[in-house]
Structure 1
């Protein structure tokens, strides 16, 4: 009852939504290799993995992207959430994001977890946040206007070894996907944003000091 509009957005007939996304940015005829990281709760991680890894295997097969999750105890500093890393060319990463977000929408339909249903938190390096913000906030303003999603970037944290910030997206499925498309399109152009990323959890070195 709190957000009836969100329930409408998470209805099963999501197929037409994909066609509304513009074409992927390309370099010549070849798409650029890229990646995206975002946070999920442990419960959500279980839904994405599926029984014996069946769901994540299916998503990788459908999208062509590689999908990796941090382990149970590997949570983003300051949260209790795990990290998902999606790697591939632009269109593969976007397709995998769609599959995962759609899955999470249907999984939380029967729960009252409105927050999980209406929020995506991307993990972005500090050095690339400027590309999202733009001069005087011009880029982030245009992303918000274009996507109609809420986009907020967390302040820089003082946690040792943490060089990432969270970009929180709120809104309907379509609004979030449009915002992700715009943000990733901009990150691909950013010289500081690495085209590939080896591990969903790059903070191990700082944690392992505790044993």
Structure 2
């Protein structure tokens, strides 16, 4: 089901000033009150639990923290992943409080499902231009953050980026307290950085950015299914947009806006992940078909999106069914590539 994009206003409740555990006073009160924001990744499932029934959870978090919390829509994934983006904005204390509420919620969900991985790490999105400040001269700043917080902090290499994308992932691994301390230090550093924008209009600034020239399985370990369009490694033959209202059999067709209902989407998945999508005796693909209501067809061995080693997976059905099946397929790919 399409989870709506909630953008309720922070005026919904009282503002609580919040000092994260053991945080030192910031040097200037002005910095503390300056508007800022932070963006990070969550799975589609986690996004649903943060929104809550009819938006109840996200509204409650906004009212408790005074921060504004926005999510990318459920087909707007961070390029190269099947994860949505959450943006939290407000004064430093409000942003930190909201982050704590969100991470506590995800932690309790993860404990219920004994999903240790999502519990132990959070991936922040930081512009390239601000990563230098977090790293510091010869790595001095990031080392001091790691010592202070006891969290593990890693920054994705710039050369893994897509053309035209200016953001990197900063992964923070540790207990909730360690993560919160590290996040507080990182946001405080970003506030001091004159290049870091105080405000962003949308949690998802990538719409319309081309991501060509990128091999299927480089990047963040997941074939780049971006906004329902797969970009093959040559950036030309490998584009399979939504073939709305067209036959999905022939050459890739650009979707014409508003063309109606024969909904089908072709995505590329690296050959080595196909087994994980199909499952033993076809079990996974049957489960995905039943749960989503979509029809799924995988190209034969050796039948790749031109110029890549990605097999074609064609998903047909209603927009909701396609979105749901795509998300489940990417989840299988993601857990397979982590192995």
1:27–1:74 Cα change, 3 Å? same
The structure where helix makes up a greater share of residues is 1
Q: Could you say which structure has the larger radius of gyration?
A: 2
1:50–1:159 Cα change, 3 Å? same
Residue pair 1:25, 1:185 contacting (<8 A) in 2 also:
no
Of 23-32 and 88-97, deviating more is: 23-32
TM-score by structure 1 length?
Answer: 0.87
TM-score by structure 2 length?
Answer: 0.55
Deviation (angstroms), 1:19: 4.6
Residue pair 2:161, 2:168 contacting (<8 A) in 1 also:
no
Of 63-72 and 199-208, deviating more is: 199-208
C-alpha separation in 2, matches of 1:68 and 1:43? 16
C-alpha separation in 2, matches of 1:158 and 1:104? 27
Moved segments of 4+, more than 4 Å: 207-211
CA displacement, residues 21-80 of structure 1 (integer Å, 9 cap, x when unaligned): 344554449611100000000000001000000000000000000000001110001111
> Is 1:151 the counterpart of 2:153 in the alignment?
yes
Residue pair 1:38, 1:84 contacting (<8 A) in 2 also:
yes
Equivalent residues in 2 for 1:15-164 (5 A)? 18-24=20-26, 26-28=28-30, 31-156=33-158, 157-164=160-167
CA displacement, residues 86-129 of structure 1 (integer Å, 9 cap, x when unaligned): 01011000000000000111111111211100000000000000
Residue pair 2:71, 2:84 contacting (<8 A) in 1 also:
yes
Structure 2, unaligned stretches of length 5 or more? 1-18, 211-226, 230-240, 242-254, 256-339
Deviation (angstroms), 1:205: 1.6
> Tell me, what secondary structure is at the counterpart of 2:102?
helix
- 171, 193, 196: which one pairs with 2:196? 193
Task: Tell which has more relative contact order, 1 or 2 (C-alpha 8 A, sep 6+).
Answer: 1
Residue pair 2:20, 2:180 contacting (<8 A) in 1 also:
no
1:19–1:186 Cα change, 3 Å? closer
Equivalent residues in 2 for 1:161-176 (5 A)? 161-176=164-179
